[in-house]
Structure 1
Amino acid sequence: MAEFIIMPKQGLQMTEGTIMEWLVGEGEEVIADTPLFEMETDKLTISIDASASGTLLKIIHDAGAVVPITEPIAIIGEKDEDFSALLGSIGAPAAAVAESAEAVQSKEAAIGTAAVKAPRTGRFFASPRAKMLAEEKGIDVADIDGSGPEGLVIEKDVMDFAFNFEAMPGTKTAATPLARKVAELENIDINGIQGTGVRNKVLADDVRASASVSQAPVQMVQQLDEELIPIKGMRKIVAERMKQSLGEMAQANHRITVDMTNSVALREQYKAVGRKVSYNDIVLRCTAKALTEFPMMNSSWTSEGIVLKKYINMGMAVAINQGLIVPVIKNIHLKSLDQISKESSELALKAKENRLQPEDYSGGTFTVSNLGMFDIDGFTAIINPPEAGILAVGKLAKQPVVSGDEIVIRMMMQLSLTYDHRTVDGAPAAQFLKRIKELLENPMLLI
């Protein structure tokens, strides 16, 4: 029996998702628990498995669509099953999709030799494969009448359309999308240009060659040098949350410089016995211990009051291609340095490979952001709401420092604490940061 596939909710704060790519096409077989489509959430891009087996009867939302959670995005059922009633239940014109697969194929055959069609006006749809083929052939899908359900332009429509253009070159000039754009900017009739591309297709250089030498081409190049990047998915959410953080919180900042000589020695001791521990792992461990001594730094401001959390879930900011993700080490205050090292490495790898699950990046109570590996001396981080603070970690480097009456070389590192002044006052925040410094300079205190 036909049923809807809905936009799944991945994480408590997710309200919508972007369909990045359908991994199965309409009419193709779907196997339960195998990848069906890729979705971009406010956190990352993940592959979503099919919830049932059958045939993908209808894709309601194509790739690129931003869809609210729980809204139907496709229909799955038995092959050739009538799903018009189900589609009609969400307000779609059921009659337009009542055709069986055989009827659609028959209709495609009937229009296979159709003449070139006039450009379509109004809203229309095209399958991902049709769009890709049209782009390859330099065809605007808006010029094509679709033979699929609801007038959907399918791959065969594009192939027939392209054949007719090549068979009747006088009907319309084949040109690449860029060539059409250049012709539009230069106010040039593209039909009067002899193309140098495959099968006489007009290229952008053909249009430029036909333009008179003037200032206009310079202006055109300047316009074409710009690219508009849509603000969506993770980038959109990061922007919203950072603006929210700065707009709602009274953020203040303290900085301190730490002598990491003893922490460096500790790491070398671990390496000597074959145990891998990073400097960031040591920072995470020291920060977790300091949070147990300064519990207000592990709280959240709410309209009802300050929520004091008796558990410590440490977020560790990780940069990925799509933006920034903060996987969380749960109950870090109960874990050893070895355990923290193992878990942080696993989470960082999962983040870079887009394998994080919602439970991996939710529930954080405090965050550490380290940019030392990028040669950054120090920086001020923005709090990840609803947390009360974030620790920014700079690079570890040799520096001359005064020790008694002498100047010596030490391994130094800068820390910067940003905190919500509504929840924590300046003095206790300074004491908290100083305590982290003491623990890093004397790591034996962790025992």
Structure 2
Amino acid sequence: MAILLRMPEVAANATHATLQAWTREEGETVAVGDCVAEIETDKAVVELNADATGVLGRRLVAAGQEVEVGAPIGVLLVDGESAIDIDALIAAAGGGGATPTAAAAAAAAEPTPATAPAAGAASPAAAPSSRVFASPLARRLAARLGVDLAALRGSGPNGRVVKRDVEQAAQGGRPPAAPAAAPAACASAAVPAASTSAAALPADAAFTEVPHSNMRRTIARRLSESKATIPHFYLVADCRMEALLALRAQVNAGAARKISVNDFIVRAVAVALREVPGANVGWTDSAMRHYREADVAVAVSTGTGLITPIVRGADRKPLSVISGEIADLAARARAGQLRPEEYQGGSFSVSNLGMFGVSEFSAIINPPQAAILAVGATQAVPVVEDGELRPGQVMRCTLSADHRAIDGALAAQWLAAFKRLVENPLSMLI
């Protein structure tokens, strides 16, 4: 029998994801495990693989469209089937309203003005019909709240009624205006490129608008929540770098892989967490989370935003392994190829802007973690030793800590351990 391909929950607690590109054409045969489509999450692009051998009978969603998790996006024909009633299949499977057919999907991929219609105006996809187009979640919520779906004008793709429309109707409000259809994405792109909505702007406009990517929206939401709800406090330490730089030069003189200063920093952070386990914690509303491993998340800048791949058990790994993992994770992060388990979790974060010449900065905590270390550039500055002024190499680090989970004295103890390890780098290698 035919199988509905549904939008998977590719990230924990995700409600929507974007179908970035189809990798198979309608009528093309696919085998078990073959990639059928590429799904964009808030952090990366993952493959949707076929669970059975068959023929891709219909693509129900256009490339570039955001779809609710669990909604049908395609139909896989198995056992020699050649034609089926798509609407009947969706209804029989309890899938709720139908998604766009191939013709509608093709139309949705055409460039459209970026301005959305007024909330009270019906969109073309919301024209009267005998069938209400709604997501499965919207249907369940409408039944529970007693909302008539037929009376709603959807704000989802192609006029589809989604959760927010039902919630607004239940509260006596009007549903939001439908967003413009997203442009089709290139199937060969590893990371989705942002598209401008210049068509919606006056000819003499002094700017263009770039729609937010899933990653950018997630970053904005999480950091806003973190800064607004977590009581940050900050401690600053100046680390002498002469010994570490000399050791690095010695190691790199005969090493196949060059070790970076950041590799040393990640190792020092992990060893300091092992020495001061009280700082290796996270805050949740119900309990304090004590991490058993020093899993260090390293901030990596990509073309669509910031992502923090994780070096697991960094206190147990030699520098060469840490260096190789960071290089591999960073490269795949920029290509949008990280698996969810490679960037979800972590017990502590490091953000290093020293390579850009930034002398110092304060970073925002990534919950449920309770701390993040912001690392500045190593700079030649005058220092005082034994009452005499001498040239020195100093790196300034700022620890941001969650005061609900880490007290000031504990944070100071951890930062002191980190500073000692950096200034005596051989001790972190033992």
The TM-score, its normalising length taken from structure 2, stands at: 0.72
Distance 1:438 1:91, change over 3 A: closer
Deviation at 1:130, TM superposition (A): 7.0
8 Å CA contact 1:23, 1:38 repeated in 2: yes
8 Å CA contact 2:9, 2:15 repeated in 1: yes
Deviation at 1:15, TM superposition (A): 2.9
Give the counterpart of 1:317 among 279, 299, 307: 299
Aligned to 1:328: 310
8 Å CA contact 1:58, 1:76 repeated in 2: yes
8 Å CA contact 2:44, 2:339 repeated in 1: no
- In structure 1, the gaps of 5 or more residues are 98-103, 105-123, 136-141, 144-149, 151-218
Q: Distance in 2 between matches of 1:389 and 1:3?
A: 46
48-57 or 320-329, larger mean C-alpha shift: 48-57
Q: 1:14 is matched by which residue type in structure 2?
A: A
Aligned to 1:344: 326
Give the counterpart of 2:106 among 105, 120, 127: 127
Aligned to 1:252: 233
Q: Distance in 2 between matches of 1:38 and 1:261?
A: 47
| Residue 372 (1) aligns with residue 354 (2) | yes
8 Å CA contact 1:2, 1:83 repeated in 2: no
Aligned to 1:87: 90
Distance 1:291 1:92, change over 3 A: closer
Deviation at 1:126, TM superposition (A): 4.0
Aligned to 2:263: 281
Please give the per-residue CA displacement for 1:208-236, whole angstroms capped at 9, x wherever unaligned. Answer: xxxxxxxxxxx94433x432222341111
Deviation at 1:397, TM superposition (A): 2.4
Deviation at 1:91, TM superposition (A): 4.1
Give the counterpart of 2:368 among 375, 381, 386: 386
Q: Highest Rg: 1 or 2?
A: 1
**What is the DSSP-based 3-state SS (H/G/I as helix, E as strand, rest coil) of the residue aligned with 1:311?**
coil
| Residue 240 (1) aligns with residue 221 (2) | yes
Q: 2:7 is matched by which residue type in structure 1?
A: M
Deviation at 1:377, TM superposition (A): 1.1
**What is the DSSP-based 3-state SS (H/G/I as helix, E as strand, rest coil) of the residue aligned with 2:83?**
coil
Deviation at 1:351, TM superposition (A): 1.1
Q: Distance in 2 between matches of 1:130 and 1:304?
A: 45
| Residue 433 (1) aligns with residue 415 (2) | yes
8 Å CA contact 1:44, 1:322 repeated in 2: no
Deviation at 1:406, TM superposition (A): 3.0
Aligned to 2:150: none
Aligned to 2:56: 56
Q: 1:268 is matched by which residue type in structure 2?
A: A
Give the counterpart of 2:389 among 407, 411, 428: 407
Aligned to 1:166: none
| Number of residue pairs aligned between Structure 1 and Structure 2 | 339
Aligned to 1:34: 34
Q: Distance in 2 between matches of 1:348 and 1:413?
A: 23
8 Å CA contact 2:298, 2:309 repeated in 1: yes
Deviation at 1:24, TM superposition (A): 2.4
8 Å CA contact 2:19, 2:66 repeated in 1: yes
Q: Distance in 2 between matches of 1:66 and 1:350?
A: 23
**What is the DSSP-based 3-state SS (H/G/I as helix, E as strand, rest coil) of the residue aligned with 2:8?**
coil
Deviation at 1:129, TM superposition (A): 9.6
Distance 1:342 1:406, change over 3 A: same
Q: 1:250 is matched by which residue type in structure 2?
A: P
Aligned to 2:16: 16
8 Å CA contact 1:27, 1:79 repeated in 2: no
Deviation at 1:86, TM superposition (A): 0.8
8 Å CA contact 1:30, 1:55 repeated in 2: yes
Deviation at 1:262, TM superposition (A): 0.5
Q: Distance in 1 between matches of 2:58 and 2:96?
A: 15
Deviation at 1:311, TM superposition (A): 1.6
Q: Distance in 2 between matches of 1:323 and 1:130?
A: 25
Deviation at 1:299, TM superposition (A): 0.8
Q: 1:242 is matched by which residue type in structure 2?
A: L
Q: 1:27 is matched by which residue type in structure 2?
A: G
Q: Distance in 2 between matches of 1:272 and 1:350?
A: 27
Provide the alpha-carbon RMSD of the alignment: 2.8
8 Å CA contact 1:296, 1:423 repeated in 2: no
Q: 1:87 is matched by which residue type in structure 2?
A: I
Q: Which structure has more helix as a fraction of its residues?
A: 1
**What is the DSSP-based 3-state SS (H/G/I as helix, E as strand, rest coil) of the residue aligned with 1:399?**
strand
| Residue 270 (1) aligns with residue 251 (2) | yes
**What is the DSSP-based 3-state SS (H/G/I as helix, E as strand, rest coil) of the residue aligned with 2:110?**
helix
Aligned to 1:153: none
Aligned to 2:193: none
Deviation at 1:398, TM superposition (A): 2.0
**What is the DSSP-based 3-state SS (H/G/I as helix, E as strand, rest coil) of the residue aligned with 1:392?**
strand
**What is the DSSP-based 3-state SS (H/G/I as helix, E as strand, rest coil) of the residue aligned with 1:127?**
helix
397-406 or 380-389, larger mean C-alpha shift: 397-406
Q: 1:88 is matched by which residue type in structure 2?
A: A
- 1:198-213 matches, within 5 Å, as none
| Residue 421 (1) aligns with residue 403 (2) | yes
8 Å CA contact 1:42, 1:233 repeated in 2: yes
Structure showing greater relative contact order (alpha-carbon pairs closer than 8 Å, 6 or more residues apart): 2
8 Å CA contact 1:2, 1:81 repeated in 2: no
